[in-house]
């Protein structure tokens, strides 16, 4: 059997960092080295103060403290980690292409290809190469072609091992995954990776498939999850005009065990680095095989999500007498969901952009997101000069400061702490009528109405 003693992981991001930390925690006999080109990120992973790790994730600090320096290492020495490893995880980013063929839809695989070429160029011993990044179906074929044609005659076995963790619950998800999926052709290589997970994951939860099923299952899992959110969000709009309440509808249908109760929370729209990117990639792949009906079906999930974000911004404007020009609107939350500092594709960015187009003044408070990140997100849209973003939008570190003197509050992220605020005090310090737009159905609407707020929630 193939023996794995040293693991390397290329990419120390939201997936590579937590995943490898847990693999190292649960396999003290394996040496795990996570490498990245981004020296600042690696330095943060090595920070002795685990509250300064580059990503915020409940429980991560304790896992890193347990394993780091024992059998878990973070380094910028990519070459050395590759040369020494028996098994190499590729966990680099695979964003939507922003140029050329497939622009706006296809996955950009340049970082993946660079990894493969680097592995091929410098490896002197056999390696198991594991796709951890989310990739288009049949990418393993490309990897194999690069590895086998530019290598030094060493054997490469390619496995697909997509990651299903969700941000904010990454450590809990990694400790007790619903399933681990491993796709491959070579039984010994598959077994070597099964052994790594079997240290803590019950064997019946480790599924093995062929390469293409594994690659495709990741895109399909995210498409199905996002589809549930868009489905309930579509119904939320219908609830608003019919007097039905979307939470009651979600509960009623969720009791049907065939439908299930999870992932039916209506919201201002899904965000995050995965859902939109992976569905658009699925759409692109379907179209590339001329499956236009299939592509149109899945594309609608993203279109509905865009509509939901726009609809929320327009609801704010319409309710505030059709103008928000010069009005102050406080944003509670900027992250794409609670318990993460990740803002990629967060609905807050698009809602803010829409309101800034109407010349609103926005004051943002998020417990984990930095001002620097918020401006970067807005500047990245290119809707207006950076100076104007800074003139119209301010970021504060105290929620009561954000809420003082404003015309309206919009809840964009479902952080638990927002529920514990002194809403009676907030009401006193706001302009009248005091509007609350709850994009997460987080607050207790009846209580806020009793306090005198004009309360709007998605789907009510």
441 is in an annotated binding site: no
- Residue tagged active-site, from 9, 115, 239, 274: 274
Q: What angle do CA 139, 178, 22 make, to 5 degrees?
A: 75
282 known ligand binder: no
408 annotated ligand binder: no
In the set 158, 216, 229, 362, which binds ligand UDX (CB under 6 A)?
229
With CB under 6 A as the contact rule, which of the stretches 34-42, 193-201, 295-303, 400-408 interacts with ligand NAD? 34-42
Closest approach of ligand NAD to the CB of residue 377, in Å: 14
- The question of whether 239 is a catalytic residue gets the answer no
Any known ligand binding at 450?
no
Query: Considering the rule CB under 6 A, would residue 304 count as an interface residue with ligand NAD?
Result: no
- The entry of ligand UDX, ligand NAD, none that residue 91 binds, CB within 5 to 8 Å by partner kind: ligand NAD
Stretches 179-187, 258-266, 315-323, 356-364: which one binds ligand UDX (CB under 6 A)? 258-266
For residue 41, say whether it is annotated as part of any ligand binding site: yes
From ligand NAD, ligand UDX, none, interface partner of 183 (C-beta below 5 to 8 A by class): none
Does 337 help bind ligand UDX (rule: CB under 6 A)?
A: yes
Residues in CB range of 170: below 8 A, 6 or more apart:
14, 18, 57, 60
Just list the catalytic residues: 274
Binding site per annotation, positions for substrate? 163-167, 218-222, 258, 265-271, 336-337, 440
Which residues here bind ligand UDX, judged by CB under 6 A? 163-167, 222, 225, 229, 263-265, 267, 270-272, 274-275, 336-337
Which residues here bind ligand NAD, judged by CB under 6 A? 10-16, 35-38, 41, 78, 91-94, 111, 114-115, 133-134, 163, 165, 167, 273-274
């Amino acid at each position: 059997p193939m023996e794995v003693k040293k693991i390397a992981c290329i990419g120390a991001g939201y997936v590579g960092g937590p995943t490898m930390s847990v693999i190292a925690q649960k396999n003290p006999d394996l040496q795990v080295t996570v490498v990245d080109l981004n020296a600042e990120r690696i330095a943060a992973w090595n920070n002795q103060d685990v509250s300064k790790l580059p990503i915020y994730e409940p429980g991560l600090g304790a896992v890193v403290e347990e394993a780091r320096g024992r059998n878990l290492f973070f380094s910028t020495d990519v070459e050395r980690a590759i040369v020494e490893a028996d098994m190499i995880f590729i966990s680099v980013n695979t964003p939507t292409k922003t140029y050329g063929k497939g622009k706006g839809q296809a996955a950009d695989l340049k970082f993946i290809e660079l990894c493969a070429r680097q592995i091929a160029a410098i490896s002197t011993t056999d390696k198991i190469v594991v796709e951890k990044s989310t990739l288009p179906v049949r990418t393993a074929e490309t990897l194999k072609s690069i590895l086998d044609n530019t290598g030094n005659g060493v054997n490469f076995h390619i496995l697909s091992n997509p990651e299903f963790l969700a941000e904010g619950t990454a450590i809990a998800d990694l400790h007790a995954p619903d399933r681990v999926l491993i796709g491959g052709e070579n039984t010994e290589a598959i077994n070597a990776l099964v052994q790594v997970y079997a240290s803590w994951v019950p064997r019946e939860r480790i599924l093995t498939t062929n390469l293409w099923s594994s690659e495709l299952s990741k895109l399909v899992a995210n498409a199905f999850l996002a589809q549930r959110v868009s489905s309930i969000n579509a119904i939320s709009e219908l609830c608003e005009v019919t007097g039905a309440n979307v939470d009651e509808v979600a509960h009623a249908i969720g009791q049907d065990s065939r439908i299930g109760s999870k992932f039916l929370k209506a919201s201002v729209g899904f965000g995050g680095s995965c859902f939109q990117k992976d569905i658009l990639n699925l759409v692109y792949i379907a179209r590339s095989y001329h499956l236009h009906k299939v592509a149109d079906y899945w594309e609608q999930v993203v279109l509905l999500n865009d509509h939901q974000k726009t609809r929320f911004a327009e609801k704010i404007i319409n309710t505030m007498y059709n103008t928000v020009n010069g009005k102050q609107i406080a944003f509670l939350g900027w992250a794409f969901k609670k318990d993460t500092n990740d803002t990629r594709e967060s609905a807050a960015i698009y809602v803010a952009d829409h309101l800034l187009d109407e010349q609103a003044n926005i004051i943002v408070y998020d417990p984990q997101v930095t001002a620097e990140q918020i401006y970067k997100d807005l500047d990245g849209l290119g809707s207006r000069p950076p100076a104007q973003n800074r003139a119209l939008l301010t970021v504060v570190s105290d929620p009561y400061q954000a809420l003082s003197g404003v015309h309206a509050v919009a809840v964009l992220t479902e952080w638990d702490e927002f529920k514990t605020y002194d809403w009676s005090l907030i009401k006193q310090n706001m302009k009248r009528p005091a509007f609350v737009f709850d994009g997460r159905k987080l607050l207790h609407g009846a209580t806020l109405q009793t306090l005198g707020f004009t309360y709007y929630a998605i789907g009510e």
